[in-house]
């Protein structure tokens, strides 16, 4: 294989890195008809990304109505669990000089957590405003509703830890699920109010050459409640979640066998046509009953609860089992805390690959070394299940074991990772919110 083929393709496509990745693959394969297909040398994902990573350009957040920052993050800790979240502007937004459209919000309330994640529709001018308004509305309403549930059901935490088949458990579960469904209706109203407020704003009118409409604020919505409960068999967690649009919600149990370690708790929606997604601003979501089938309630053991937009979820597809690889990536980069039992697999002599560095889109002279589970699997010949079970090897391959710590706090570490991990074909905003059980 001749490297000049790769370089020529890269130079020709410098204005469109997303297409350049496809072009690099085409140019790296000999075109001569006398070369059999099976004899053509294929580039690995790592080869492609290495040649296209530096082609992305950085343009700052534009001077537009309500510009949103490059990234946001947050962290909260309560005895027993923590919440860590971050949202970063995608490479395509940086390249084009457009806004980050994702958003999130969360709050710990009386030993419980409520959270929301939203992806603003990329084709809509003010979807970022809608995403933020929707997330904030979920938290605001959930706080009010939880107070009402505590008042009407003084023993609701005890009931949630009781017999799953009991009437008391069913009543309180119904209240929690109803809270989330109603919060989606509140989110619809909040996005609608945000649109109406800006409909007469000259800056917003100028941005789209007309009066802004509700569709300009379209966004997805993932909402969840996380409630620790005491059961006869010990501490468990009641999770209730709802999903409108793409993205993913999942629970991970590090102590379980790999076949039982991942529980998918959301269904990525599609609209009436292929490639289309649902938005919380669809008229049907004014009615909470339309959200019944989108609501999932679960009680059981877990070590992490994850909510993410499609900018992350699509990089780990198929989500089952690839979200376990996401959990491993978070652990290998020192972001997700160690949990569960000690390693029972003696395999610490296995050689592991060094972390990989690519240029940062914001500044090509800056490189962040990151560790990738798929590189570990490739170099060691192990399966996902092998690495999942081998905690000693996970530790050996992790960034801290190489003396690399990018930030002092977990929220900033998550921000760096989201902003810098490289996956072929991944250009969108990335938002991830995780709740981790703390030992």
Token couple for 420: 């810098």
Q: What stretch of H or E contains 102?
A: strand 102-109
Mean pLDDT of the chain: 88
| CA distances, 363 to each of 59, 86, 311, 332 (Å) | 11, 20, 21, 24
Which position has the higher pLDDT, 230 or 13? 230
3-state secondary structure string across 311-342: HHHHHHCCHHHHHHHHHHHHHHCCCCCCCCCC
Neighbours of 430 (CB within 10 A): 30
pLDDT of residue 268: 74
Token couple for 281: 């601003």
Hey, what's the torsion of the CAs at 26, 29, 34, 35, to 10 degrees? Answer: -140
φ and ψ at 91, to 5 degrees?
-60, -35
Would you give the DSSP letter of residue 353? P
Helices (H), strands (E): how many in the chain? 14, 13
pLDDT tens profile 51-87: 777 788 999 999 989 999 999 999 999 989 999 999 9
pLDDT tens profile 299-339: 999 999 999 999 999 999 999 999 999 999 999 999 999 76
pLDDT tens profile 34-43: 444 444 456 6
Which residues on adjacent β-strands are paired with residue 306?
A: 250, 434
Instruction: Round to whole Å and give the CA distance between 28 and 355.
Output: 26
Average pLDDT value for residue range 240-269: 92
Which residues on adjacent β-strands are paired with residue 430?
A: 88
Sign of CA pseudo-dihedral 416, 69, 269, 141: positive
pLDDT of residue 340: 56
Would you give the DSSP letter of residue 117? E
Place of tokens 């390249």: 95
Instruction: Round to whole Å and give the CA distance between 234 and 161.
Output: 9
pLDDT of residue 25: 39
pLDDT of residue 196: 97
Instruction: Round to whole Å and give the CA distance between 414 and 439.
Output: 20
Instruction: Round to whole Å and give the CA distance between 104 and 133.
Output: 10
Give the strand order in the sheet containing 81-88.
71-78, 81-88, 430-437, 304-308, 248-252, 262-264
Query: Which pTM was predicted?
Result: 0.89
pLDDT of residue 408: 87
pLDDT tens profile 82-133: 999 999 999 999 999 999 999 999 999 999 999 999 999 988 999 999 999 9
pLDDT band at 232 (very low <50, low <70, confident <90, very high): very high
Average pLDDT value for residue range 3-27: 43
Is the per-residue pLDDT at 30 higher than 60?
A: no
Token couple for 247: 């993205």
pLDDT band at 350 (very low <50, low <70, confident <90, very high): confident
> Per-residue b/e over 208-236, b at no fewer than 16 CB within 10 Å?
eeeebebbbbbbbbbbbbbbbbebeeeeb
Q: Are 254 and 339 in contact (CB under 8 A)?
A: yes
Integer-rounded Cα radius of gyration of the chain? 23
Q: What stretch of H or E contains 27?
A: helix 17-27
Instruction: Round to whole Å and give the CA distance between 233 and 315.
Output: 36
Helix, strand, or coil (residue 120): strand
pLDDT band at 172 (very low <50, low <70, confident <90, very high): very high
Which position has the higher pLDDT, 272 or 305? 305
Helix, strand, or coil (residue 379): helix
Q: Give how far the C-alpha of residue 129 lies from the chain's centroid of Cα atoms, to the nearest Å.
A: 19
Residue in 246, 257, 250 with CA at minimum distance from that of residue 219: 246
Q: What stretch of H or E contains 189?
A: helix 167-198
Which position has the higher pLDDT, 416 or 42? 416
Is the per-residue pLDDT at 258 higher than 50?
A: yes
Is the per-residue pLDDT at 27 higher than 60?
A: no
Average pLDDT value for residue range 421-435: 95
Q: Are 423 and 315 in contact (CB under 8 A)?
A: yes
Instruction: Round to whole Å and give the CA distance between 354 and 356.
Output: 6
3-state secondary structure string across 218-262: CECEEEEEEEEEEECCEEEEEEEEEEECCCEEEEECCCCCHHHCE
pLDDT band at 284 (very low <50, low <70, confident <90, very high): confident
pLDDT of residue 55: 85
């Amino acid at each position: 294989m001749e490297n000049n083929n790769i370089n020529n393709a890269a130079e020709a496509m410098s204005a469109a890195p997303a297409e350049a990745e496809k072009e690099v693959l085409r140019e790296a394969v000999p075109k001569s008809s006398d070369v059999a297909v099976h004899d053509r040398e294929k580039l690995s994902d790592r080869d492609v990304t290495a040649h296209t990573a530096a082609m992305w350009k950085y343009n700052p957040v534009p001077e537009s109505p309500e510009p949103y920052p490059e990234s946001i993050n947050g962290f909260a800790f309560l005895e027993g669990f923590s919440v860590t979240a971050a949202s970063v502007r995608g490479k395509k937004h940086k390249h084009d000089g457009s806004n980050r459209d994702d958003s999130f919000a969360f709050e710990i309330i009386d030993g419980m957590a409520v959270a929301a994640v939203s992806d603003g529709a990329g084709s809509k001018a003010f979807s970022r405003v809608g995403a933020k308004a929707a997330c904030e509305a979920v938290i605001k309403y959930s706080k009010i509703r939880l107070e009402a549930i505590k008042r009407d059901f003084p023993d609701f935490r005890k009931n949630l830890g009781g017999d799953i088949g009991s009437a008391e458990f069913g009543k309180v579960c119904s209240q929690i699920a109803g809270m989330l469904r109603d919060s989606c209706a509140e989110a619809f109203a909040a996005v609608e109010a945000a649109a109406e407020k800006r409909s007469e704003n000259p800056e917003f009118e100028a941005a789209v050459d007309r009066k802004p409409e509700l569709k300009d604020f379209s966004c997805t919505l993932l909402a969840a409640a996380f409630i620790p409960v005491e059961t006869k068999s010990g501490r468990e967690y009641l999770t209730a979640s709802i999903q409108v649009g793409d993205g993913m919600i999942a629970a991970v149990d590090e102590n379980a066998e790999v076949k039982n370690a991942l529980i998918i708790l959301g269904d990525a929606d599609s609209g009436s046509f292929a490639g289309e997604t649902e938005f919380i601003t669809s008229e049907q979501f004014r009615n909470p009953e339309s959200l019944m089938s989108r609501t999932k309630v679960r009680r059981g053991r877990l070590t992490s609860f994850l909510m993410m937009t499609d900018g992350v979820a699509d990089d780990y597809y198929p989500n089952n089992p690839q979200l376990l690889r996401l959990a491993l990536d978070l652990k290998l980069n020192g972001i997700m805390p160690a949990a569960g039992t000690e390693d029972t697999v003696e395999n610490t002599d296995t050689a592991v690959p060094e972390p990989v560095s690519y240029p940062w889109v914001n500044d090509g002279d800056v490189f962040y070394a990151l560790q990738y589970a798929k590189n570990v699997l490739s170099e060691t010949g192990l399966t996902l299940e092998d690495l999942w079970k081998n905690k000693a090897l996970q530790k050996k391959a992790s960034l801290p074991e190489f003396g690399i710590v990018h930030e002092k706090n977990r929220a900033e570490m998550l921000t760096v990772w989201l902003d810098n991990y490289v996956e072929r074909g991944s250009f969108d905003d990335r938002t991830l919110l995780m709740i981790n059980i703390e030992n």
